[in-house]
């Protein structure tokens, strides 16, 4: 009798476990970066701002240092979604990666209220304009990254041939300020928080910005999902993006508090007083993607830089139907 009771108990507990598993909302394994993605990080730092999290989807954020590794992790089935610069998504699409851009994270935009990635040179150095970079070197954070694209665009605008007239070399953001000051590079790429810190030290002068280089406001970072995940879990993606938009609006309305929360949760290591003062990139409150800017970028990458071997259909790459209406 005891045996039968034990057997029944085991069956009931297994059934309960199975039903509990079935009720678990889908897990989104999300590949995040380390800059300019505040609203994404806030979803994990302040889950109370995301009413759907835990109910209609679960979120696990995984940090990646570089974009190619994020896509490789996706190819290996280790992540379902992530953030990536517009040009990286274009590269990925050209290679046949089955991903869709579903929302915008932030943009490079003109205007005093927004930050745009800035190229600076030594204040008392010989470089007075971009043309003076002939024979010099520009430091970018990585080859075929957005910073590389803007540097090349800036050089082309000044009639210089990247690699021939001016070398473009990768250099970490933290080393950029000293590299420019000591003349190791003629100009360097500066993003926040390094821009504010280096500008405060003095001795550097602005040459051009990312927006100056390409000539229009454009997508800096986008949010993408794998097509398989989109098809198998459309409701979870909708719920995730509803929360994402809500968090974006919260971030824009309460930036200082949001930054404090991110700092407290360890997403940002910059000293809080500097982080609070940093200028921010433009973020669309509804997370809508500027598709036209991605098209222009893709054309520029193919026609001017020869970075793409075949054209990319940006309209097919972007799917904003999962965003809240």
Partner 1 sequence: MRALRPLLLIAGVLAAWEIASRSGLWNPLLFPSLAKIAYEFGLFLVQPERLMEAWVSLYRALGGFALAAVAGVLLGMLMGRSSLIAGLLEPLFSGTYAVPKLALFPIFIFVFGIGSLSKVALIFLECLYPIVIVTCHGARDVNRVLIWSAQNMGASRAAILRRVVIPATVPFIFAGCRVALPVAMIVVVITEMISSADGLGYLVIYSLSSLKTDRMLAVVIVISLLGLALDRALVFLRNRLVYWDRLDTYYV
Question: Which residue's CB is nearer to partner 1, number 26 or number 142?
Answer: 142
Comparing C-alpha atoms, which of 165, 110, 178 is closest to residue 139?
Answer: 178
Please select the residue that binds partner 1; options are 156, 157, 178, 299, rule is CB under 8 A. 178
Long-range contacts of 36-39 (CB under 8 A, 24+ apart): 36/105, 36/106, 36/191, 36/192, 36/220, 36/221, 36/281, 37/83, 37/105, 37/106, 37/221, 38/251, 38/258, 38/259, 38/262, 38/280, 39/105, 39/244, 39/247, 39/248, 39/251, 39/283
Q: Is 300 in the site for partner 1 (CB under 8 A)?
A: no
In this structure, is the dihedral angle defined by the CA atoms of residues 132, 220, 251 and 28, taken in order, positive or negative? negative
**Token pair of 233 as six digits:** 């879990």
Choose the binding region for partner 1 from 14-22, 63-71, 199-207, 258-266 (rule: CB under 8 A): 63-71
Q: Restricting to residues 253-292, which ones interact with partner 1 according to CB under 8 A?
A: none
Tell me, residue by residue from 135 to 174, as one string, x for binding to partner 1 by CB under 8 A and - for no binding.
--x-x--xxxx-----------------x---xxxxxx--
Q: Which residues contact 139 (CB under 8 A, 6 or more apart)?
A: 169, 170, 171, 176, 179, 180, 184, 185, 187, 188, 189
Q: Is 76 in the site for partner 1 (CB under 8 A)?
A: yes
Tell me, residue by residue from 13 to 42, as one string, x for binding to partner 1 by CB under 8 A and - for no binding.
------------------------------
Question: Which residue's CB is nearer to partner 1, number 172 or number 311?
Answer: 172
Question: Which residue's CB is nearer to partner 1, number 64 or number 307?
Answer: 307
Q: Restricting to residues 180-219, which ones interact with partner 1 according to CB under 8 A?
A: 182, 184-185
**Token pair of 239 as six digits:** 């719920």
Question: Which residue's CB is nearer to partner 1, number 85 or number 193?
Answer: 85
Q: Is 299 in the site for partner 1 (CB under 8 A)?
A: no
Min separation Cβ 172 and partner 1, Å: 8
Min separation Cβ 91 and partner 1, Å: 5
Residues that bind partner 1 (CB under 8 A): 67-68, 71-72, 75-76, 91-92, 94-97, 137, 139, 142-145, 163, 167-172, 175, 178-179, 182, 184-185, 307
């Amino acid at each position: 009798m005891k045996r039968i009771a034990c057997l029944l108990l085991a069956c009931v507990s297994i059934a309960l476990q199975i039903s509990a598993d079935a009720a678990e909302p889908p897990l989104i394994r999300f590949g995040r970066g380390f800059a300019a993605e505040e609203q994404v990080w806030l979803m994990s730092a302040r889950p109370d701002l995301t009413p759907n999290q835990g109910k209609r989807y679960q979120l696990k954020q995984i940090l990646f240092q570089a974009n190619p590794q994020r896509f490789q992790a996706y190819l290996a089935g280790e992540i379902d979604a992530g953030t990536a610069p517009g040009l990286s998504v274009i590269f990925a699409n050209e290679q046949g990666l089955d991903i869709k851009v579903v929302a915008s994270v932030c943009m490079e935009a003109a205007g005093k209220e927004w930050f745009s990635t800035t190229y600076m040179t030594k204040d008392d150095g010989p470089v007075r304009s971009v043309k003076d970079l002939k024979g010099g070197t520009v430091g970018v954070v990585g080859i075929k990254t957005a910073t590389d694209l803007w540097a090349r665009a800036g050089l082309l605008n000044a009639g210089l041939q990247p690699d021939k007239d001016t070398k473009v070399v990768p250099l970490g953001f933290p080393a950029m300020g000293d590299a420019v000051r000591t003349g190791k590079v003629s100009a360097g790429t500066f993003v926040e928080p390094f821009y504010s810190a280096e500008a405060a030290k003095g001795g550097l002068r602005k040459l051009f910005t990312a927006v100056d280089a390409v000539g229009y406001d454009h997508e800096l970072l986008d949010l993408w999902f794998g097509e398989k995940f989109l098809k198998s879990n459309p409701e979870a993606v909708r719920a995730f993006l509803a929360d994402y938009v809500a968090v974006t609006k919260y971030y824009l309305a309460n930036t200082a508090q949001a930054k404090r929360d991110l700092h407290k949760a360890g997403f940002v290591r910059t000293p809080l007083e500097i982080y609070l003062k940093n200028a921010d990139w433009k973020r669309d409150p509804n997370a809508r993607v500027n598709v036209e800017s991605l098209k222009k970028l893709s054309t520029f990458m193919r026609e001017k830089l020869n970075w793409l071997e075949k054209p990319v259909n940006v309209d097919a790459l972007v799917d904003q139907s999962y965003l809240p209406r």
